[in-house]
Structure 1
Amino acid sequence: MQAVSSGQVEIRLDLAERYLLESEPRMALDQLRTVQGIAPDNPRLHFNLGMTYSVLDDFSRSAASFERAVELDPDYGEAWNNLGQVRQSMRDFAGAAYAYEQALSVSEYMTPEFAAYNLGSLNIEMKKYDEALSWSVLGIEKNRRYIPLYVQTAQLLQKAERYAEAVEVLEAGVTSRPDSAQLRLMLAELLLGLSRDREAMRWFESIIQQSPDSNEASTAQDYLEVLR
Protein backbone atom coordinates (compact mmCIF):
# COMPACT_ATOMS: atom_id res chain seq x y z
CA MET A 1 0.00 0.00 0.00
CA GLN A 2 1.31 3.45 -0.87
CA ALA A 3 2.48 5.44 2.14
CA VAL A 4 0.08 8.14 3.25
CA SER A 5 1.14 11.17 5.30
CA SER A 6 -0.54 12.26 8.53
CA GLY A 7 -1.75 15.31 6.62
CA GLN A 8 -3.53 13.09 4.11
CA VAL A 9 -5.13 11.16 6.96
CA GLU A 10 -6.53 14.41 8.35
CA ILE A 11 -7.80 15.38 4.90
CA ARG A 12 -9.66 12.08 4.59
CA LEU A 13 -11.16 12.59 8.06
CA ASP A 14 -12.21 16.10 7.05
CA LEU A 15 -13.82 14.66 3.92
CA ALA A 16 -15.66 12.04 5.95
CA GLU A 17 -17.06 14.71 8.24
CA ARG A 18 -18.12 16.78 5.24
CA TYR A 19 -19.93 13.77 3.76
CA LEU A 20 -21.72 13.23 7.07
CA LEU A 21 -22.87 16.85 7.06
CA GLU A 22 -24.13 16.33 3.52
CA SER A 23 -26.04 13.15 4.54
CA GLU A 24 -23.74 10.88 2.56
CA PRO A 25 -22.77 8.28 5.19
CA ARG A 26 -21.67 5.65 2.66
CA MET A 27 -19.17 8.06 1.13
CA ALA A 28 -17.99 8.97 4.63
CA LEU A 29 -17.52 5.29 5.40
CA ASP A 30 -15.36 4.83 2.29
CA GLN A 31 -12.99 7.54 3.51
CA LEU A 32 -12.94 6.19 7.05
CA ARG A 33 -12.18 2.63 5.97
CA THR A 34 -9.18 3.94 4.05
CA VAL A 35 -7.95 5.74 7.15
CA GLN A 36 -8.63 2.64 9.24
CA GLY A 37 -6.10 0.73 7.17
CA ILE A 38 -3.52 3.48 7.60
CA ALA A 39 -3.99 4.91 11.10
CA PRO A 40 -6.10 2.40 13.06
CA ASP A 41 -5.35 4.01 16.44
CA ASN A 42 -6.57 7.51 15.59
CA PRO A 43 -9.33 8.47 18.09
CA ARG A 44 -10.93 10.88 15.64
CA LEU A 45 -11.24 8.03 13.13
CA HIS A 46 -13.21 5.93 15.60
CA PHE A 47 -15.34 8.89 16.66
CA ASN A 48 -16.34 9.47 13.03
CA LEU A 49 -16.95 5.77 12.51
CA GLY A 50 -19.28 5.92 15.50
CA MET A 51 -21.11 8.87 13.99
CA THR A 52 -21.38 7.18 10.60
CA TYR A 53 -22.65 3.85 11.91
CA SER A 54 -25.17 5.74 14.05
CA VAL A 55 -26.55 7.49 10.96
CA LEU A 56 -26.76 4.07 9.30
CA ASP A 57 -28.69 2.74 12.35
CA ASP A 58 -25.95 0.20 13.06
CA PHE A 59 -25.88 0.97 16.77
CA SER A 60 -23.78 -2.03 17.79
CA ARG A 61 -20.90 -0.95 15.53
CA SER A 62 -21.47 2.67 16.48
CA ALA A 63 -21.11 1.88 20.18
CA ALA A 64 -18.00 -0.23 19.54
CA SER A 65 -16.44 2.65 17.59
CA PHE A 66 -17.11 5.22 20.29
CA GLU A 67 -15.81 2.76 22.88
CA ARG A 68 -12.58 2.46 20.92
CA ALA A 69 -12.31 6.26 20.66
CA VAL A 70 -12.52 6.71 24.44
CA GLU A 71 -10.20 3.76 25.00
CA LEU A 72 -7.60 5.55 22.89
CA ASP A 73 -8.39 8.95 24.43
CA PRO A 74 -10.15 8.77 27.82
CA ASP A 75 -10.56 12.56 27.79
CA TYR A 76 -12.59 12.55 24.56
CA GLY A 77 -15.70 14.12 26.08
CA GLU A 78 -17.66 14.32 22.86
CA ALA A 79 -17.09 10.62 22.20
CA TRP A 80 -18.26 9.76 25.73
CA ASN A 81 -21.42 11.80 25.21
CA ASN A 82 -22.18 10.19 21.86
CA LEU A 83 -21.49 6.76 23.31
CA GLY A 84 -24.12 7.56 25.93
CA GLN A 85 -26.63 8.48 23.24
CA VAL A 86 -26.04 5.24 21.35
CA ARG A 87 -26.28 3.15 24.51
CA GLN A 88 -29.50 4.94 25.42
CA SER A 89 -30.89 4.13 21.97
CA MET A 90 -29.99 0.50 22.66
CA ARG A 91 -31.78 0.80 26.04
CA ASP A 92 -28.58 0.19 27.96
CA PHE A 93 -29.51 2.83 30.51
CA ALA A 94 -26.77 2.03 33.02
CA GLY A 95 -24.15 2.14 30.28
CA ALA A 96 -25.56 5.38 28.95
CA ALA A 97 -25.51 7.04 32.37
CA TYR A 98 -21.90 5.97 32.89
CA ALA A 99 -20.85 7.41 29.52
CA TYR A 100 -22.63 10.73 30.09
CA GLU A 101 -21.08 11.03 33.54
CA GLN A 102 -17.66 10.32 32.09
CA ALA A 103 -18.22 13.12 29.57
CA LEU A 104 -19.05 15.50 32.42
CA SER A 105 -15.91 14.48 34.28
CA VAL A 106 -13.65 15.61 31.42
CA SER A 107 -12.50 19.11 32.30
CA GLU A 108 -11.53 19.86 28.68
CA TYR A 109 -14.95 18.90 27.30
CA MET A 110 -16.23 22.06 25.69
CA THR A 111 -19.98 21.30 25.75
CA PRO A 112 -20.76 19.63 29.09
CA GLU A 113 -24.30 21.02 28.94
CA PHE A 114 -25.06 18.40 26.25
CA ALA A 115 -24.16 15.55 28.58
CA ALA A 116 -26.12 17.11 31.45
CA TYR A 117 -29.17 17.55 29.21
CA ASN A 118 -28.83 13.94 28.03
CA LEU A 119 -28.63 12.72 31.61
CA GLY A 120 -31.82 14.63 32.30
CA SER A 121 -33.51 13.04 29.30
CA LEU A 122 -32.25 9.60 30.28
CA ASN A 123 -33.66 9.90 33.79
CA ILE A 124 -36.97 11.20 32.40
CA GLU A 125 -37.11 8.08 30.21
CA MET A 126 -36.52 5.99 33.34
CA LYS A 127 -39.18 8.05 35.20
CA LYS A 128 -36.59 9.23 37.73
CA TYR A 129 -37.77 12.81 37.73
CA ASP A 130 -35.90 14.09 40.78
CA GLU A 131 -32.60 12.85 39.36
CA ALA A 132 -33.49 14.33 35.99
CA LEU A 133 -34.12 17.71 37.58
CA SER A 134 -30.76 17.63 39.34
CA TRP A 135 -28.95 17.04 36.06
CA SER A 136 -30.97 19.73 34.29
CA VAL A 137 -30.12 22.30 36.93
CA LEU A 138 -26.45 21.32 36.73
CA GLY A 139 -26.59 21.76 32.98
CA ILE A 140 -27.84 25.31 33.30
CA GLU A 141 -24.94 26.02 35.64
CA LYS A 142 -22.58 24.70 32.97
CA ASN A 143 -24.04 26.89 30.22
CA ARG A 144 -26.68 29.51 30.97
CA ARG A 145 -27.32 30.11 27.28
CA TYR A 146 -28.42 26.56 26.35
CA ILE A 147 -32.15 26.87 25.73
CA PRO A 148 -33.14 23.14 25.85
CA LEU A 149 -32.02 22.93 29.47
CA TYR A 150 -34.37 25.73 30.53
CA VAL A 151 -37.21 23.97 28.72
CA GLN A 152 -36.37 20.62 30.32
CA THR A 153 -35.99 22.11 33.80
CA ALA A 154 -39.23 24.10 33.62
CA GLN A 155 -41.16 21.06 32.39
CA LEU A 156 -39.83 18.95 35.25
CA LEU A 157 -40.73 21.63 37.80
CA GLN A 158 -44.24 21.89 36.39
CA LYS A 159 -44.59 18.11 36.55
CA ALA A 160 -43.71 18.37 40.24
CA GLU A 161 -46.26 21.22 40.60
CA ARG A 162 -43.46 23.60 41.58
CA TYR A 163 -44.89 26.35 39.44
CA ALA A 164 -43.26 29.37 41.07
CA GLU A 165 -39.84 27.80 40.55
CA ALA A 166 -40.71 27.01 36.94
CA VAL A 167 -41.54 30.68 36.39
CA GLU A 168 -38.22 31.69 37.93
CA VAL A 169 -36.31 29.29 35.69
CA LEU A 170 -38.01 30.58 32.55
CA GLU A 171 -37.46 34.18 33.59
CA ALA A 172 -33.78 33.38 34.07
CA GLY A 173 -33.76 31.74 30.66
CA VAL A 174 -35.23 34.80 28.99
CA THR A 175 -32.65 36.97 30.76
CA SER A 176 -29.84 34.75 29.47
CA ARG A 177 -31.39 34.33 26.01
CA PRO A 178 -33.55 37.38 25.31
CA ASP A 179 -33.64 36.30 21.64
CA SER A 180 -35.58 33.12 22.43
CA ALA A 181 -39.22 33.33 21.40
CA GLN A 182 -39.61 29.73 22.54
CA LEU A 183 -38.79 30.56 26.16
CA ARG A 184 -40.95 33.69 26.11
CA LEU A 185 -43.93 31.70 24.84
CA MET A 186 -43.41 28.94 27.39
CA LEU A 187 -43.26 31.53 30.16
CA ALA A 188 -46.38 33.32 28.92
CA GLU A 189 -48.36 30.08 28.70
CA LEU A 190 -47.28 29.11 32.21
CA LEU A 191 -48.32 32.49 33.59
CA LEU A 192 -51.66 32.18 31.81
CA GLY A 193 -52.19 28.78 33.41
CA LEU A 194 -51.51 30.38 36.79
CA SER A 195 -54.21 33.02 36.07
CA ARG A 196 -51.58 35.76 35.79
CA ASP A 197 -53.21 37.03 32.63
CA ARG A 198 -51.78 40.56 32.55
CA GLU A 199 -48.22 39.31 32.89
CA ALA A 200 -48.87 36.69 30.24
CA MET A 201 -50.21 39.32 27.86
CA ARG A 202 -47.04 41.38 28.23
CA TRP A 203 -44.95 38.39 27.28
CA PHE A 204 -47.19 37.55 24.33
CA GLU A 205 -46.83 41.15 23.15
CA SER A 206 -43.06 41.01 23.53
CA ILE A 207 -42.90 37.92 21.32
CA ILE A 208 -44.79 39.71 18.55
CA GLN A 209 -42.55 42.76 18.84
CA GLN A 210 -39.32 40.80 19.02
CA SER A 211 -39.97 37.94 16.58
CA PRO A 212 -42.89 39.03 14.39
CA ASP A 213 -42.35 36.39 11.69
CA SER A 214 -41.99 33.42 14.04
CA ASN A 215 -44.47 30.63 14.71
CA GLU A 216 -44.40 31.74 18.34
CA ALA A 217 -45.60 35.20 17.32
CA SER A 218 -48.55 33.66 15.47
CA THR A 219 -49.45 31.64 18.55
CA ALA A 220 -49.05 34.70 20.78
CA GLN A 221 -51.39 36.67 18.53
CA ASP A 222 -54.02 33.95 18.82
CA TYR A 223 -53.78 34.08 22.61
CA LEU A 224 -54.08 37.87 22.65
CA GLU A 225 -57.20 37.81 20.49
CA VAL A 226 -58.88 35.63 23.11
CA LEU A 227 -57.59 37.60 26.10
CA ARG A 228 -58.48 41.09 24.87
Structure 2
Amino acid sequence: MKIKIKPFILVCLCAVMASCASTVQTQKQNKIAQAIKKEGDVFQTQGNYTAALNKLLEAEKMAPDDPYIQNSLGLAYMGKERDDMGITAFNKALSLKPDYTEALNNLGVAYLRDDKPNIAIKTFNMVLEDITYPTPHYPLANIGWAQLAQNNYPVAQKYFLKALREVPGFIPAIHGLAQLYIRTGQTDRAIKYLDKNIRRSPDTVIFHKDLAQTYETCGRARQAIKAWQVVKQLAPENSNLYHEAEQRLFELQ
Protein backbone atom coordinates (compact mmCIF):
# COMPACT_ATOMS: atom_id res chain seq x y z
CA MET A 1 0.00 0.00 0.00
CA LYS A 2 2.80 2.40 0.82
CA ILE A 3 4.35 1.95 -2.61
CA LYS A 4 1.02 2.81 -4.27
CA ILE A 5 0.48 5.90 -2.13
CA LYS A 6 3.87 7.49 -2.80
CA PRO A 7 3.22 8.42 -6.45
CA PHE A 8 -0.10 9.94 -5.39
CA ILE A 9 1.60 11.96 -2.66
CA LEU A 10 4.27 13.06 -5.14
CA VAL A 11 1.62 14.20 -7.62
CA CYS A 12 -0.22 16.11 -4.88
CA LEU A 13 2.97 17.78 -3.71
CA CYS A 14 3.85 18.80 -7.26
CA ALA A 15 0.37 20.25 -7.73
CA VAL A 16 0.65 22.22 -4.48
CA MET A 17 4.09 23.51 -5.43
CA ALA A 18 2.83 24.53 -8.89
CA SER A 19 -0.16 26.25 -7.29
CA CYS A 20 2.10 28.14 -4.87
CA ALA A 21 4.39 29.20 -7.72
CA SER A 22 1.38 30.39 -9.71
CA THR A 23 0.05 32.34 -6.71
CA VAL A 24 3.42 34.01 -6.14
CA GLN A 25 3.60 34.94 -9.83
CA THR A 26 0.05 36.37 -9.76
CA GLN A 27 0.82 38.39 -6.63
CA LYS A 28 3.95 39.74 -8.27
CA GLN A 29 2.00 40.72 -11.40
CA ASN A 30 -0.70 42.41 -9.32
CA LYS A 31 1.92 44.39 -7.41
CA ILE A 32 3.50 45.58 -10.66
CA ALA A 33 0.04 46.37 -12.09
CA GLN A 34 -0.79 48.54 -9.05
CA ALA A 35 2.49 50.43 -9.44
CA ILE A 36 1.72 51.08 -13.12
CA LYS A 37 -1.84 52.13 -12.19
CA LYS A 38 -0.43 54.71 -9.78
CA GLU A 39 1.65 56.17 -12.60
CA GLY A 40 -1.47 56.34 -14.77
CA ASP A 41 -3.44 58.02 -12.00
CA VAL A 42 -0.72 60.67 -11.64
CA PHE A 43 -0.89 61.43 -15.37
CA GLN A 44 -4.67 61.64 -15.01
CA THR A 45 -4.51 64.25 -12.25
CA GLN A 46 -2.20 66.27 -14.51
CA GLY A 47 -4.77 66.16 -17.32
CA ASN A 48 -2.52 64.03 -19.55
CA TYR A 49 -5.19 61.47 -20.42
CA THR A 50 -3.29 59.90 -23.32
CA ALA A 51 -0.33 58.99 -21.11
CA ALA A 52 -2.73 57.89 -18.37
CA LEU A 53 -4.62 55.62 -20.75
CA ASN A 54 -1.43 53.98 -22.02
CA LYS A 55 -0.32 53.20 -18.47
CA LEU A 56 -3.72 51.94 -17.36
CA LEU A 57 -4.10 49.68 -20.40
CA GLU A 58 -0.69 48.24 -19.56
CA ALA A 59 -1.86 47.66 -15.98
CA GLU A 60 -5.07 46.04 -17.22
CA LYS A 61 -3.10 43.46 -19.23
CA MET A 62 -1.39 42.36 -16.02
CA ALA A 63 -4.51 42.45 -13.83
CA PRO A 64 -7.61 42.31 -16.06
CA ASP A 65 -9.96 41.58 -13.15
CA ASP A 66 -8.93 44.47 -10.91
CA PRO A 67 -11.98 46.74 -10.35
CA TYR A 68 -9.83 49.72 -9.33
CA ILE A 69 -7.88 49.61 -12.59
CA GLN A 70 -11.20 49.44 -14.47
CA ASN A 71 -12.46 52.50 -12.58
CA SER A 72 -9.32 54.46 -13.43
CA LEU A 73 -9.63 53.32 -17.04
CA GLY A 74 -13.19 54.65 -17.13
CA LEU A 75 -12.00 58.05 -15.93
CA ALA A 76 -9.23 58.11 -18.54
CA TYR A 77 -11.71 57.25 -21.30
CA MET A 78 -13.91 60.13 -20.15
CA GLY A 79 -10.85 62.38 -20.21
CA LYS A 80 -10.42 61.37 -23.85
CA GLU A 81 -14.14 62.14 -24.40
CA ARG A 82 -14.97 58.47 -24.99
CA ASP A 83 -17.82 58.28 -22.52
CA ASP A 84 -19.16 55.11 -24.16
CA MET A 85 -15.92 53.29 -23.35
CA GLY A 86 -15.97 54.81 -19.87
CA ILE A 87 -19.43 53.31 -19.32
CA THR A 88 -18.11 49.88 -20.32
CA ALA A 89 -15.14 50.16 -17.94
CA PHE A 90 -17.25 51.33 -14.98
CA ASN A 91 -19.75 48.52 -15.57
CA LYS A 92 -16.89 46.01 -15.58
CA ALA A 93 -15.57 47.49 -12.32
CA LEU A 94 -19.02 47.05 -10.77
CA SER A 95 -19.35 43.48 -12.06
CA LEU A 96 -16.06 42.70 -10.30
CA LYS A 97 -16.96 44.64 -7.14
CA PRO A 98 -20.73 45.29 -6.86
CA ASP A 99 -20.35 47.48 -3.74
CA TYR A 100 -17.89 49.84 -5.46
CA THR A 101 -19.97 52.99 -4.97
CA GLU A 102 -17.32 55.36 -6.30
CA ALA A 103 -17.40 53.52 -9.64
CA LEU A 104 -21.21 53.68 -9.57
CA ASN A 105 -21.09 57.47 -9.18
CA ASN A 106 -18.56 57.68 -12.02
CA LEU A 107 -20.87 55.54 -14.16
CA GLY A 108 -23.64 58.07 -13.54
CA VAL A 109 -21.34 60.90 -14.64
CA ALA A 110 -20.49 58.99 -17.82
CA TYR A 111 -24.20 58.49 -18.57
CA LEU A 112 -24.81 62.20 -17.97
CA ARG A 113 -22.00 63.20 -20.32
CA ASP A 114 -23.32 60.69 -22.87
CA ASP A 115 -26.67 62.56 -22.96
CA LYS A 116 -28.53 59.95 -20.91
CA PRO A 117 -29.75 62.12 -18.00
CA ASN A 118 -32.59 59.82 -16.91
CA ILE A 119 -30.28 56.80 -16.58
CA ALA A 120 -27.76 59.07 -14.84
CA ILE A 121 -30.34 60.18 -12.26
CA LYS A 122 -31.30 56.57 -11.50
CA THR A 123 -27.62 55.72 -11.08
CA PHE A 124 -26.96 58.66 -8.74
CA ASN A 125 -29.99 57.70 -6.64
CA MET A 126 -28.49 54.22 -6.30
CA VAL A 127 -25.31 55.88 -5.02
CA LEU A 128 -27.34 57.78 -2.41
CA GLU A 129 -28.84 54.50 -1.19
CA ASP A 130 -25.40 53.63 0.18
CA ILE A 131 -25.60 55.45 3.52
CA THR A 132 -21.92 54.68 4.17
CA TYR A 133 -20.79 56.59 1.05
CA PRO A 134 -18.57 59.36 2.46
CA THR A 135 -19.18 62.00 -0.23
CA PRO A 136 -22.94 62.24 -0.91
CA HIS A 137 -22.49 65.83 -2.11
CA TYR A 138 -21.11 64.43 -5.38
CA PRO A 139 -24.24 62.48 -6.44
CA LEU A 140 -26.47 65.27 -5.10
CA ALA A 141 -24.74 67.87 -7.28
CA ASN A 142 -24.68 65.41 -10.17
CA ILE A 143 -28.45 64.98 -9.95
CA GLY A 144 -28.66 68.77 -10.03
CA TRP A 145 -26.67 68.81 -13.27
CA ALA A 146 -28.82 66.03 -14.76
CA GLN A 147 -31.98 67.97 -13.92
CA LEU A 148 -30.44 71.15 -15.33
CA ALA A 149 -29.74 69.30 -18.59
CA GLN A 150 -33.48 68.63 -18.82
CA ASN A 151 -34.41 72.24 -17.91
CA ASN A 152 -35.98 71.09 -14.63
CA TYR A 153 -34.77 74.22 -12.88
CA PRO A 154 -36.59 74.03 -9.50
CA VAL A 155 -35.51 70.40 -9.00
CA ALA A 156 -31.95 71.19 -10.10
CA GLN A 157 -31.77 74.07 -7.62
CA LYS A 158 -33.03 71.82 -4.82
CA TYR A 159 -30.25 69.29 -5.40
CA PHE A 160 -27.50 71.90 -5.76
CA LEU A 161 -28.59 73.39 -2.43
CA LYS A 162 -28.68 69.92 -0.84
CA ALA A 163 -25.09 69.36 -1.98
CA LEU A 164 -24.05 72.72 -0.51
CA ARG A 165 -25.69 71.85 2.80
CA GLU A 166 -23.46 68.76 2.89
CA VAL A 167 -20.32 70.69 1.90
CA PRO A 168 -20.54 74.49 1.83
CA GLY A 169 -18.29 75.83 -0.90
CA PHE A 170 -18.56 72.69 -3.05
CA ILE A 171 -17.44 74.03 -6.44
CA PRO A 172 -19.57 71.86 -8.81
CA ALA A 173 -22.73 72.84 -6.90
CA ILE A 174 -21.85 76.56 -6.90
CA HIS A 175 -21.03 76.34 -10.61
CA GLY A 176 -24.34 74.56 -11.18
CA LEU A 177 -26.35 77.23 -9.36
CA ALA A 178 -24.56 79.97 -11.31
CA GLN A 179 -25.42 78.24 -14.58
CA LEU A 180 -29.03 77.86 -13.43
CA TYR A 181 -29.28 81.59 -12.70
CA ILE A 182 -27.76 82.42 -16.11
CA ARG A 183 -30.09 80.09 -18.01
CA THR A 184 -33.18 81.41 -16.23
CA GLY A 185 -32.29 85.04 -16.93
CA GLN A 186 -31.39 85.88 -13.31
CA THR A 187 -28.18 87.67 -14.32
CA ASP A 188 -28.12 90.13 -11.41
CA ARG A 189 -28.51 87.25 -8.99
CA ALA A 190 -25.77 85.31 -10.79
CA ILE A 191 -23.33 88.25 -10.62
CA LYS A 192 -23.99 88.80 -6.91
CA TYR A 193 -23.63 85.08 -6.17
CA LEU A 194 -20.43 84.72 -8.18
CA ASP A 195 -18.85 87.88 -6.72
CA LYS A 196 -19.43 86.46 -3.23
CA ASN A 197 -17.85 83.12 -4.11
CA ILE A 198 -14.93 84.69 -5.98
CA ARG A 199 -14.10 86.70 -2.84
CA ARG A 200 -14.00 83.41 -0.92
CA SER A 201 -12.10 81.50 -3.61
CA PRO A 202 -10.40 83.95 -6.01
CA ASP A 203 -8.35 81.28 -7.84
CA THR A 204 -11.31 79.09 -8.82
CA VAL A 205 -11.24 79.58 -12.57
CA ILE A 206 -14.72 78.22 -13.30
CA PHE A 207 -16.29 81.02 -11.21
CA HIS A 208 -14.59 83.63 -13.40
CA LYS A 209 -15.78 81.79 -16.51
CA ASP A 210 -19.35 81.84 -15.18
CA LEU A 211 -19.00 85.55 -14.42
CA ALA A 212 -17.70 86.28 -17.93
CA GLN A 213 -20.62 84.33 -19.40
CA THR A 214 -23.07 86.27 -17.22
CA TYR A 215 -21.66 89.63 -18.33
CA GLU A 216 -21.90 88.55 -21.96
CA THR A 217 -25.51 87.45 -21.46
CA CYS A 218 -26.52 90.89 -20.21
CA GLY A 219 -24.47 92.78 -22.81
CA ARG A 220 -21.70 94.09 -20.55
CA ALA A 221 -18.78 93.46 -22.89
CA ARG A 222 -16.14 95.43 -20.96
CA GLN A 223 -16.71 93.46 -17.76
CA ALA A 224 -16.87 90.22 -19.76
CA ILE A 225 -13.45 90.95 -21.29
CA LYS A 226 -11.94 91.53 -17.84
CA ALA A 227 -13.42 88.26 -16.55
CA TRP A 228 -12.19 86.28 -19.58
CA GLN A 229 -8.71 87.76 -19.07
CA VAL A 230 -8.72 86.37 -15.53
CA VAL A 231 -9.81 82.97 -16.88
CA LYS A 232 -6.88 83.02 -19.30
CA GLN A 233 -4.47 83.89 -16.48
CA LEU A 234 -5.71 81.13 -14.18
CA ALA A 235 -6.39 78.27 -16.61
CA PRO A 236 -3.59 75.89 -17.73
CA GLU A 237 -2.45 76.73 -21.26
CA ASN A 238 -3.45 73.36 -22.71
CA SER A 239 -6.93 73.37 -21.15
CA ASN A 240 -10.30 73.84 -22.83
CA LEU A 241 -11.00 76.83 -20.57
CA TYR A 242 -7.83 78.57 -21.71
CA HIS A 243 -8.71 78.10 -25.38
CA GLU A 244 -12.31 79.19 -24.76
CA ALA A 245 -11.06 82.36 -23.06
CA GLU A 246 -8.75 83.09 -26.01
CA GLN A 247 -11.63 82.65 -28.45
CA ARG A 248 -14.03 84.83 -26.48
CA LEU A 249 -11.43 87.59 -26.07
CA PHE A 250 -10.71 87.50 -29.81
CA GLU A 251 -14.41 87.91 -30.59
CA LEU A 252 -15.13 90.56 -27.96
CA GLN A 253 -12.13 92.85 -28.47
CA contact (8 A) 1:16 1:32 kept: no
1:81 CA drift (Å): 0.7
CA contact (8 A) 1:113 1:140 kept: yes
Structure 1 or 2, whichever has the larger Rg, is 2
Other-structure match for 1:42:
none
Gaps in structure 2 of 5+ consecutive residues = 1-18, 44-51
Q: How does 1:57-136 map to 2 (within 5 A)?
A: 57-58=84-85, 61-68=88-95, 71=98, 73=99, 76-88=100-112, 93-106=117-130, 108-136=132-160
CA contact (8 A) 1:28 1:52 kept: no
| TM-superposition CA deviations, 1:97-122 (whole Å, max 9, x none) | 12212334545545444323332332
CA contact (8 A) 1:17 1:48 kept: no
CA contact (8 A) 1:66 1:83 kept: no
CA contact (8 A) 1:32 1:49 kept: no
Other-structure match for 1:18:
39
Q: How does 1:154-165 map to 2 (within 5 A)?
A: 154-165=178-189
Which of the residues 15, 29, 46 maps onto 2:60?
Answer: 29
CA contact (8 A) 1:123 1:132 kept: yes
Letter in 2 for 1:30: K
TM-score (norm 2): 0.59
Gaps in structure 1 of 5+ consecutive residues = 37-44
1:59 CA drift (Å): 5.1
Distance (whole Å) between structure 2 residues aligned to residue 49 and residue 28 of structure 1: 10
Distance (whole Å) between structure 2 residues aligned to residue 171 and residue 92 of structure 1: 33
Distance (whole Å) between structure 1 residues aligned to residue 153 and residue 118 of structure 2: 16
Letter in 2 for 1:115: P
Other-structure match for 1:40:
none
1:27 CA drift (Å): 0.7
1:12 CA drift (Å): 2.7
* 3-state DSSP of counterpart to 2:178: helix
Cα distance change of structure 1 residues 113 and 23 upon mapping to structure 2, 3 Å threshold:
same
1:174 CA drift (Å): 1.2
Other-structure match for 1:4:
24
Letter in 1 for 2:53: S
Distance (whole Å) between structure 1 residues aligned to residue 226 and residue 141 of structure 2: 27
CA contact (8 A) 1:16 1:48 kept: yes
Measured on the aligned residues, the alpha-carbon RMSD in Å equals 4.3
Other-structure match for 2:190:
166
* 3-state DSSP of counterpart to 1:23: helix
Distance (whole Å) between structure 2 residues aligned to residue 80 and residue 133 of structure 1: 23
Other-structure match for 1:139:
163
Letter in 2 for 1:161: G
Aligned length: 208
% same residue: 17
TM-score (norm 1): 0.64
Cα distance change of structure 1 residues 128 and 219 upon mapping to structure 2, 3 Å threshold:
closer
| TM-superposition CA deviations, 1:161-200 (whole Å, max 9, x none) | 23343233213321331223542454366367658899x5
Identify the range of structure 1 (84-93 vs 130-139) with the bigger mean alpha-carbon deviation: 84-93
Distance (whole Å) between structure 2 residues aligned to residue 114 and residue 150 of structure 1: 12
CA contact (8 A) 2:118 2:146 kept: no
